[in-house]
Amino acid sequence: MNALRESVAAVRTQIEDLQAEMEAAARCADHIHTDMQIIDGRSARHSRLTTRFTSLLRRADELKKSIEEQQALLRDLRTSFGELRRSLHRGSK
């Protein structure tokens, strides 16, 4: 029964981690969208646009890293679900 509790706790933690990463990715996407609106709406000096593009590239990199982290968390979650399933199967015998 202890293994089952540990498996459930691991799944819960991984789901919370995944949710946090998804929220971080959504914030990055919002920032990218805002930066693009500013770039699209500006006929400002080149230096300001360069600053915006630098910010945009930095946020795109953050988004890429967040997506990679989400993929890793999903792999871990799949593994934990498999362990949970095996624990439940052992417990039913």
pLDDT digits over 1-12, tens only?
687 788 888 888
> Is residue 52 predicted with pLDDT exceeding 80?
no
pTM: 0.66
Calculate what percentage of the chain has a pLDDT beyond 70: 87
- How far is the C-alpha of 18 from the C-alpha of 7, rounded, in Å? 16
Longest dimension (CA), the chain: 72
Q: Residues 79-91: pLDDT tens digits?
A: 888 888 888 887 7
Contact by Cβ (8 Å): 56, 32 = yes
**b/e for 73-90, b at 16 or more Cβ within 10 A?**
beebbeebeebbeebeee
